[in-house]
Structure 1
C-alpha cells in the first residue's frame, strides 16, 4: 500500500521521489499513536512559492526525527486562516486524525500557519488535545502545548489575529487606490470584455455578439426576447450554456459592461460579517466630482447604460423583490374605470372588461364591457383636443412635457436621481464636517478649510449638473396640431400610454342606459385630466391677482420713500 498523501507531496509540493525517501515520506507509516505525527502545511496565496513550502516540510521532518516521531500524513491546502467563513478541510482532517487517536502530535511550522482567529479557535482545540493527552508543536517558535505553553500560545494566536486586521486595512487601502486609478480589481469580466494589464478591453470572439445584444436592448427588446434569438442562432454563453433572461439582466446592471469601475456590495453572513462574495450589479465607483471612474472600454457607453437602466425600471414592479411587467397592448388598460365599482378595466380580447367582475364574479361587481377599438379612438381625439387647448405657458403642459421626456430619455431621469442622491450625501458630509470642527473640536483649521473647499466644489458641480438636467423641455411637438398627430402616430402603444399617463389620472366610463345602448362611447368617457385639480374658481383667481397688485404697489411706494 502507498501513502494517501503521495500525490500531494509529488504534484502539489513538487518533491522528488528520492528526497521523499530520505525524509521518510515515501513509504506507508504505521506504528503506535505516540510514535506518529500529523503535519499541517498551509499556503495562504498562490504567490507563496512552493520552494518555501518544501523547506517548511523539511524543517518539520528534521524536528520530528529529532523527537523520534514519524510523519503519518502531510495535510496541505491553500486556504485563509483568518476568515471565519472559510472552511479548512485539510486542517479539520489533520486535527480529526489526532482526536481519533491515529497519532498524538500535530506539527505546524509557525503559529500563524495554525490559525489567525485568536484564542477563540485555538483554546477549544487545545482542550480537546489535552483531554486525549495529545499535543500541538509549533516548530519555529519551539512551543509545545503539552509543556505548559498555553499562555504563550494564547498570546501568539491573539497577536496573529491582530496582524490580520492590520493586513486587511493595508490590502483594502491598496485595492481602493487601484480602483480609484481605474485598475480592474479582478474577477470574471462581463460577456464581450477581457482584462489585460489591469484594463478592460474588447474580447474579440465575444464583442460582436455583445454589441448586438446591446443594440437589441436599446431598441427596447426585453431580456427574454434577446435570450430567445441568441439561443435560436446557436450562440452560447462563455461557459457554453444557453442564454437566459437573468444573464441578460446581469449585463444591463453591470457597471463593467459600460467600462466603469464597479463599486459592489459584499455579501454578509447571518451575523452581518462580510464574506468573499459580492452582489451582482451594483453602482459604478464615482470620483469626488460625481463622475464615474472608468477602467477601460465597455460594450456600451455610460449614456447607453443609463438608458438601459431606465428601460428596465419601466418594466419592473420595483420594491425589495422586483418583478418584470408585461408590455401593455391596449391604450386604456388599467386607465379605464368601471362605471359600477370604479375599479380598473383591462384588455380582454377585443373589449375592455371590469377586472373585479372577471376575477371575483358578479357578487363583487356586475361588470361592464366596451369595445377596445372604439374607446381607444375616442380617447385619442380627446387627448389631442385637450392638449391643444392648453396655453403654451401652462404649468400643466410643461409637466406633461417633463413626464414625456422621462419616457423618451430615461437615461436623463436615472442620472438626475443619481446626482440628487450624491448631492444629498455631499450635503450630509458638509454638515458633519462643520459639526466636527465647530462642536467636536477634533480638527485643525487648515484641515477644515481644505476639506470644506473640496466638499463645496463637489456640491457646486452637482448643483450645476442638476440645473443642466432640469433644462426647459422642448414643447414644440405639443403645440402644433400636425406635429402632435405625427408624434402620436409614430409612437408604439407604450409611447402613447406614456403620453396619456402624463396628461390624465384615469378615464371614468358612465354606465349604459340599457343593454345595447347606442350612445357613442365618446359621450360616456369622462377623462380625469391632471390639470383639472389645479383649476380654481374665478373669484379666488381674481382675489389672488388683486392681492398681488396691492403688494407690488406697497413695494414701489417703499422704494420711492427710500
Structure 2
C-alpha cells in the first residue's frame, strides 16, 4: 500500500508557555520513533495553546485525523494519548473506529501504544478515561490554588489591567509608571460622560498603543473600566455549569468576595476608587436595557447581511453591523481611524436580494458561480467526506510537484549522472508514481456527494422559497453565492444609488467579474 510507510505527527500543548513540555521535544521523540520503525514523516500537525479537554476548535487535530482516515498516511503518531483527547473513551473510541475503518494505525509514543497490536485498544480506553479524570482533578487543584491566592490578596495570574503591573515580591498590583497616567485619563474621560468611542479616538489620535499594541476601540475600553482590579479589587470570572457537568466561563467579571466575611478582597493599588468604579458601571447600565433578567445592549435584531457586509472605504474592510436603520462600519463606531461607511439597511438588503434572485436563475449549468454554489452546498451537507477528499487532493498536488521537480533535476539541472544515480532516480520516480496512483485510487473510492441545484435555477420557485424562509435561511442562501458585499462611503444627505456604492463579490468569480 502506498501509505504504509508514511506517517503524520500530531503535536499539542494546552498551555503554550515556559515550564511546559515543549512541542519541539514532542516532535523530536515522535520523529525518533518513526525512524526506528521505518516510517517517513510526511507532515507535522500542531495545535498550540488548544486544550484537548475543552470544547475548542483544533484545526491541527482535524487535519491530522482527516489525513489518516482518508488514507493519505497509514499512521498517526502522537507524543502522548492525552494530546489526542482528554474527553474520555467517548471521543477517543470514535477516533480509533474511524482510523481502523480506513486501515490506519494510531501510535502514542510515551504511552507505548500501537493499535496494530490487538490488545492496545483496551489500554487506550483505560488511559483515555484516566486522562479525563486527571483533567478534572487538575481543574479542582487549580481552583483550590486560586482560592488560596485570592484569600491572601495576591494576583492569581494573567495580564493585569492596563496601567497596572504585578509587584514580584508581594504579588500585588502596583501602578505601571509608563501607562498609569493614560489609564487615569481614560477613567477621567469616562467619569465626565465622554463616550467610549470618543475616548478610543482620542487615544488613537495621539498614537497611544492599546495593551495588545494595536488601536483602541470601545470594547477594549469598556473591558478595562469594568475590571474590578482597576479599582484595586480582586477579580473573579463568572462560571456556569454545562449540560455535561463541566464549568464554562461566561466572560462576566465581578469583585471577588471573601467566603466568610463576604467583603470584597483588595489586590493592591487601583487606578480609580471603588466609588468611581460604581459610578462608571451605573453609566454603562443606563445605556442598556434589562431583558429576561440580563442586561443586553439595545439592538434591532439580527440583520440579513450580518457577516456578509463590509466597509468599502480603502484601507478599512471591517465588518458592518446594523445599528438602528443603517449598516455602519464597526471599526469607525469602535473608535478606530476610519471615516466610516454607512447606508440604509433596508435599501442595501433589497438591492442585494434582488440581484441574487435575478442573477442565480439566469446562470448556465457550466457558469463558475453556479459551480461554486453547488460546491459550497455539498461541503455544508457532508463536511467530513470533503475533509478527506481535500486531504487527498492536496497530497496528490504535492506529490505531483515533487515528481516534476525530480524530473527537472535530471533532465534540466542534470543532477543525476552515471548508472548509480540514474538507478536511484528511477526508484524515486517509481515510488512517487505509485503513491500518486494509490492516492488517486483512494480518491475515486470516496463518495462524491452531489446536490440538485435546479430549484435555484427556477426563478419562480426560488422567489417562493425565499418568501417562506427565515432571515437565517436567507442569509445561508446568500452566502452560497456571495463572498462579501462592500458598501462605500456616500455623501451626507445624498440618496443611496446602489449601483454606485454597493459592490457584490460573487463566489468563484475573479476580480474583474465582481460587479
Which protein has the larger Cα radius of gyration, Structure 1 or Structure 2? Answer: 1
TM-score, normalised by the number of residues in structure 2: 0.49
TM-score, normalised by the number of residues in structure 1: 0.45
Q: Between Structure 1 and Structure 2, which shows a larger proportion of helix residues?
A: 1
Higher RCO (CA < 8 A, seq sep 6+)? 2
